Amino acid sequence: MNLDKIKTMNDNFFYGQEEQRKKEKRIKSLVLLGLMLIVFQAMLGTISYQVLFNRQALQIIVAGILITMIVSFPLGILLETISRIKSSFQDTVDYEKTIYRIYQLAIDVKKNGALSVEKEIDQEKDEFMRDAITLLCDYKRPEAMETLLDQDIEARKLHLGKSKNVMKMVAQVSPALGLIGTLVGLIGLLGNLGEPTMIMTHMGSALISTLYGSLIANFIAVPLIARLREYSDRQLLRYNMIKEGILLIAKEDTARNVFDTMNVMLKEEDRLIYPRQQRAARDNIKEGLVYDQI
């Protein structure tokens, strides 16, 4: 069965589930926006707009964080962190596509041998999948393949963890920089005790710096650490699914066992339907879909 047709079949079955996820995402966004407005309104109800947005305090916090990041990490890691944060919001790890891709490879290898999928290597865009298919074509012993794939996954795990380390650094230094801003404001206050206007300016800068540091650490850095950890876990699960599937193909196991082994690694509600079982529900699939025999 053609991989695109298999995926189309599964899309019909999981269309309702995907719509439910989108609905939950919209609800989550609305709730988050509402809570942020509540927090913002509470702060403005206590602190005036002029005091809340203090330029000197922002300069100390933002410049201090940037200096710490640039000194602590290579520029490449910082840029990758920004890219990975963006990906964690925009990209979805497609387990479905991965499972059906490996399943189709298992069928092709069973029919025509491992070298028959060699042409897939140059067409594959995903690096880990491409490396796994290359090993399938080049290696005869599954034990050697497993060692290399485990080392590859471990290296990727360490690489994914670097972005979390960047955000952990932000969470650690932000409160400290807030205290530095407070000290700078107090020093300015003590130097201008005879000028009431300057006293109020420096007092506002001193107090708001600590607030900025705490907000950045707890409302930005810590949530992003959790999001990067979740994104990393999803990626690692996908890598392990690919590894298990490729090793079973190398051991000449059945395509059904390849599919089921990867499928049970998903949460129960996310598990896919085996392609041949989908044929029993062909009447529920939109008209015009053509079925091929495996």
CA geometry: angle at 132 spanning 261 and 292, to 5°?
60
> How many other β-carbons are positioned within 10 Å of the β-carbon of residue 28?
10
Q: Are 118 and 137 in contact (CB under 8 A)?
A: yes
Q: What is the pLDDT of residue 196?
A: 63
> Does residue 17 sit within a domain?
no
- Domain range enclosing 168: 56-272
DSSP H or E segment with residue 183: helix 142-190
> Does residue 113 sit within a domain?
yes
pTM recorded for the entire structure: 0.76
Q: Is 231 exposed, middle or buried (0-12, 13-18, 19+ CB in 10 A)?
A: buried
Q: Which of 262, 253, 257, 294 is nearest to 275 (CA)?
A: 294
> Does residue 6 sit within a domain?
no
* Domain count along the chain: 1
> Does residue 21 sit within a domain?
no
Q: What is the pLDDT of residue 46?
A: 64
> Does residue 238 sit within a domain?
yes
Q: What is the pLDDT of residue 277?
A: 56
CA gap 160, 101 in Å, rounded: 24
pLDDT in tens, the chain (294 residues): 454 554 555 555 445 555 666 677 678 777 777 777 776 666 666 666 666 777 888 888 999 999 999 999 999 999 999 999 999 888 888 898 899 999 999 998 888 887 788 888 888 888 999 999 898 888 768 888 999 999 999 999 999 999 999 999 999 999 999 888 888 877 777 766 666 666 666 666 677 888 889 989 998 999 999 999 999 999 999 999 999 999 999 998 999 999 999 999 998 888 888 876 555 444 444 444 444 444
> Does residue 133 sit within a domain?
yes
Q: Is 51 exposed, middle or buried (0-12, 13-18, 19+ CB in 10 A)?
A: middle
> Does residue 11 sit within a domain?
no
CA gap 203, 55 in Å, rounded: 13
> Does residue 122 sit within a domain?
yes
